[in-house]
Structure 1
Amino acid sequence: MKTCKLLIITILITFSANKLFAHALWIETNTVGKNGLNHEVKIFYGEYATNEKEKTQKWYSDVKEFSLWLSAPGKEKIKLNTTDKEDHFSAHFTPEKDGVYTLTVVHEAKDLGGTTKYEFSSLAAVTVGKNATINLDEVSNPLKISTNETKVYKTTSNVQVKVILNGKPLVNKQVSVFSPEGWSKEFITDTNGMINFNPIWPGRYVIEASNFVKNSGEHNGKEYKAEWQGATYSFEVSK
């Protein structure tokens, strides 16, 4: 009987950990902005592919206590105020000059998932004026993923995506691409940490990369045996 109970507990823990592992934090905002016009930013937690947007009260651990940072052209990074909207958080900023504006989140969850430490991060970029290349070297997130350019892509155009971990390309790792139609596909990064794909449907796409390593240590007084990092980037596609 004890063996049976232990097996059931193990299955439940494994199921919970797998469900958590599938969840991600992502930023949604219009890719193109205009000087002097208010620009809205939304932050969600859940599974984009299945349109599962968790109520903020149900976000894992203390993830809802994240900080949203804005890097504007020629200015120091600033923290944006966020407002709880029940199934997401909302923030605003007003562009003042042409260039690329990057929005970033990095949050290490207070609680462990089993014996795993979790770090959620996201990046979004807004271009004002001409399309521009995103310089990932200027983004401080440990794990970061983005398209090469900040622009609204066209359907059937080639989209290049790069993944960086601690300043180096993340090589031979899986990257998931989620479309607005519920379609998803997995790609493997090359020696430059790159993937390429052609979007078919218009709408918002979310790309996600993760890194899982067995590494022991102590986090908030509890021992962990593995570390998981998840990063997302979203962008728009038009016809």
Structure 2
Amino acid sequence: MRSKHIILAATAAIVSGLFSLNASAHALWLENDAKAIKLYFGEYSENLRETSPGRLDGIVEPAATVIDAAGKENPVKPIRENGYFAIPGNTTGNAVLVQALKQPIREPQGENPGPVSKRFLYARFGKGGSLPLDIENTGDLLRLSFMGKPAAKTEIIVIAPNGWEKHLTTDEKGEVSFSLPESGLYVIEAKYEHKNPGEFEGKPYAIEIHKVTLSVYK
């Protein structure tokens, strides 16, 4: 009987670990490898980076803005490589904002299909400028906003360098405190669904799904 309890406890621990390392849906995020800033698409928690040819080609004409220390914004066009988009120009010490606004309509799938949706993907590195759905980092506080207004009671996921995830929820001000326990790159992501019917490339949709990441190095 004791061995049975040990097995059950071990199983529960494994399941708990799996939930802690559970993969998030695909997103864009930025990484700085000292030589350049690169835009990736995949699942950071799973160390999954899509390639071209492949699912990276599903990111349609992303637009980037490089913001220097004086706050000057310089629009640039990311260059698609085999496993990422290269952000051109002098990005050393500068902030980078990315928007992928031309993603195709997502048709409902499965036995219980949801409404037709349109995705809007964003990524941020550094401070300055603004995105439609944006995460600001003030050191020990994250602030989430949508169209300049606080995104209250919305989930934020902090993904550590080892893939571990911590799920947080913003307060009425769109804020939540956080800490980074170890060194490395943290990707912080949030999703915001907006019931705003529209049309893209001749196809109607009922819901906008906005997703943003903030890349933070410790």
Please give the TM-score of this superposition, normalised by the length of structure 2: 0.77
1:100-141 deviation digits (Å, cap 9, x = unpaired) = 73211111134111111000001111xxxxxxxx45xx42x1
Structure-2 residue corresponding to 1:29 = 32
Mark the runs of 5 or more structure 2 residues left unpaired by the alignment: 1-23, 108-115
Equivalent runs, 1:220-235 vs 2, <5 Å: 220-235=201-216
Structure-2 residue corresponding to 1:17 = none
2:138 to 129, 145, 148: 148
1:109 to 102, 107, 111: 102
Q: Secondary structure at the match of 2:197?
A: strand
2:174 to 153, 170, 193: 193
Q: Secondary structure at the match of 1:190?
A: coil
Q: Could you say which structure has the higher strand fraction?
A: 1
Tell me the distance in 1 between the aligned counterparts of 2:193 and 2:183: 32
What RMSD over aligned residues (CA atoms) do the two structures have, in Å?
2.3
Q: Secondary structure at the match of 1:105?
A: strand
Q: In the alignment, is the contact (CA less than 8 A) between 2:36 and 2:91 conserved in 1?
A: no
Residue 78 (1) aligns with residue 68 (2): no
Equivalent runs, 1:1-239 vs 2, <5 Å: 22-29=25-32, 40-59=36-55, 62-74=58-70, 76-94=72-90, 101-114=94-107, 115-125=116-126, 134=127, 138-139=129-130, 141-149=131-139, 159-237=140-218
How far residue 222 of structure 1 moved from its aligned partner, in angstroms, is 0.2
Q: In the alignment, is the contact (CA less than 8 A) between 1:56 and 1:86 conserved in 2?
A: yes
Please give the TM-score of this superposition, normalised by the length of structure 1: 0.70
Matching residue's letter, 1:216: P
1:142-165 deviation digits (Å, cap 9, x = unpaired) = 11113115xxxxxxxxx3211111
Structure-2 residue corresponding to 1:4 = none
How many residues are aligned here? 187
Gap change, CA 1:173 and 1:95, over 3 Å in 2? closer
Q: Secondary structure at the match of 2:191?
A: strand
How far residue 85 of structure 1 moved from its aligned partner, in angstroms, is 2.8
Q: In the alignment, is the contact (CA less than 8 A) between 2:61 and 2:102 conserved in 1?
A: no
Tell me the distance in 2 between the aligned counterparts of 1:70 and 1:60: 22
Tell me the distance in 2 between the aligned counterparts of 1:180 and 1:78: 30
Q: Secondary structure at the match of 2:206?
A: strand
Mark the runs of 5 or more structure 1 residues left unpaired by the alignment: 1-20, 31-37, 126-133, 150-158
Matching residue's letter, 2:137: T
Gap change, CA 1:64 and 1:51, over 3 Å in 2? farther
